[in-house]
Chains A and B, each alone.
Chain A
C-alpha cells in the first residue's frame, strides 16, 4: 500500500493513466477467462447429464423383474388334472404359459412356441392357462371362454391356434360372439352347442380359477412363462427359449 502510494507519486500523469488502463485490461481479460471457464464447465455438465440420462434409461430397460418363485407355488406350478396340455406327458420340459388371446405380445410369441414344439417334439409339453387382461382387452374373457367351449367338444388347441392366428381380425370387432361361432363351425364343431357352452358356468369358473392361480404366482402381464416351475424373465426370442429348454433338458432328471 505504502509502496504503491510512493511509486504512484513518482509517476507522471501519463504513466499513471497508462497503468490504470493496463490494469483495467487485465481485469477484463481475467473476467473473460472466468466466463469461458464457466462456459466450458456448463457444457461439460450438460454432456454429463446427457450421458447419465441415456445410461439410466438403458439400464432400466434391460433390468429383469423379480424372478424368484416361492416354495408355496409348487402345487400351482405342477401340471394339474384339468390343465390344457399339448405334448407328451413324459416330456422332460414343461412350459406353462399364462396367456390372453387378445394380447398382441401373446400373439407374437405364438409362432415361436409352435416352432419350439416342433423342434422339441416329445421332449417339451406346453400348458396354456387363461389370464385375460380385461381392462386392456375387451374381448379377452370371451375369447378364453370360446377356447373352453371348443375344449368341451375336444378342440381346445385348435381354437387356441385359430384365435391367435386371426387375433388382428377379431380383436378390432365391436362384437365377437358370432365370429367365434363361425370359427367353431369352421373347425367342425357343433355351432349351437358351442354357443351354449360359451356361457357355461363350468367354463367361466375354470377361466377364473386359472387367472387366480396366475395372480398367486404374481403374474401381472401376459404372456408369462414358467419352464419346469421357474419363471422365465426376458426370454424374448426363439433362440432365448431354445437355450433355456436345452439347459433344462441337460439337467439330470430328479
Chain B
C-alpha cells in the first residue's frame, strides 16, 4: 500500500464516519419527535387546537393509527432501530449495516410520502411534528445513501 492510497482511504473513512454521526443526530431528533407524539397518544390526550392549527386534525384522524398501533409508535421504533444500526455501522468494518440502514430508511421514506399525501389530499391539514419527521427521514435517506455510494465506490 502506497502512502497516497492509504492517505486517501483514511480520509474517506473519516468522511463516512462523520456522515454516520450526522445520521445518528438525525435519528435522535426523530426519536424525540415520535416519542413525544406516542406518549401524547397513549395518555389519551386529544391534541387541542392551537393558533397555528393543523396538528389536531391530523393526529385525531383515522389515519393516525394502523389498527390499534399509533403511527407515532412505529416512528419511535423505527428511529430507535436506525439509531442502533447507525451505531453498529460505525463500529463495523463489513458495511453490511449500511446496506440494511439504506433499505430500512428507503421503506420509511416511502411510508412518509404516503403520509404526506394523506395530509395534503385527504385530511387537508399539516401537522408540524409530522413534517419535522418527514424532513428527518429525507435527510437520513440522503446521508445513508451517500455513505452507501462511497462504500461501493471504495470497494469496487
A interface with B by C-beta (< 8 Å): 39, 42-43, 46, 49-50, 53-54, 56-58, 60-62, 100, 103-106, 108-109, 133, 135-137, 172, 220-224, 234, 236-237
Contacts and interface: CB of A to CB of B under 8 A. Distances in A.
Contacts of B50: 133, 136, 220-221
Interface of B: 24, 28, 31-33, 35-37, 39-40, 43-54, 56-57, 60-61, 76, 80, 83-84, 87, 90-91, 124
A117 B76 CA distance: 39
Given A108-B60, A236-B46, 10 more contacts: A42-B90, A56-B32, A57-B31, A57-B32, A104-B57, A104-B60, A137-B53, A221-B49, A234-B45, A236-B43
Contacts of A172: 124
B60 A43 contact: no
Contacts of B90: 42
A62 B43 CA distance: 8
Nearest to A239: B44
29 contacts: A42-B87, A43-B87, A43-B91, A46-B83, A50-B83, A54-B32, A57-B33, A57-B35, A57-B39, A58-B35, A58-B36, A61-B39, A61-B40, A103-B49, A104-B49, A104-B56, A104-B57, A104-B60, A106-B49, A133-B53, A135-B52, A136-B49, A136-B51, A136-B53, A137-B49, A222-B48, A223-B49, A224-B48, A236-B45
Contact of A236 (B39, B44, B61, B124): B44
Contacts of A62: 39, 43
A57 B32 CA distance: 5
A105 B57 CA distance: 8
Interface SS majority for chain B: helix
B44 to A, nearest CB: 5
Which of B37, B39, B76, B90 has the most chain A CB within a 10 Å cutoff?
B39
Given A58-B35, A172-B124, A103 B56 contact: yes
A60 B61 CA distance: 23
B32 A222 contact: no
Contacts of A49: 28
A237 B43 CA distance: 9
Nearest to B87: A46
B84 A53 contact: no
A251 to B, nearest CB: 26
A174 to B, nearest CB: 11
B35 A109 contact: no
A209 B50 CA distance: 19
B35 A105 contact: no
Contact of A223 (B33, B48, B91): B48
B51 A133 contact: yes
Nearest to A137: B53
Contact of A39 (B24, B33, B40, B91): B91
A22 B44 CA distance: 65
| Residue among B43, B46, B47 facing the most chain A CB atoms (10 A cut-off) | B46
Contacts of A58: 35-36, 39
Contacts of A105: 46-49, 56, 60
B46 A135 contact: no
A133 B53 CA distance: 8
Contacts of B48: 103, 105, 221-224
A222 B49 contact: yes
Contacts of B35: 53-54, 57-58, 61
- Output the residue of A61, A133, A224 with the most chain B CB within 10 A: A61
B91 A42 contact: yes
A61 B43 contact: yes
Nearest to A39: B91
B49 A100 contact: yes
A163 B125 CA distance: 20
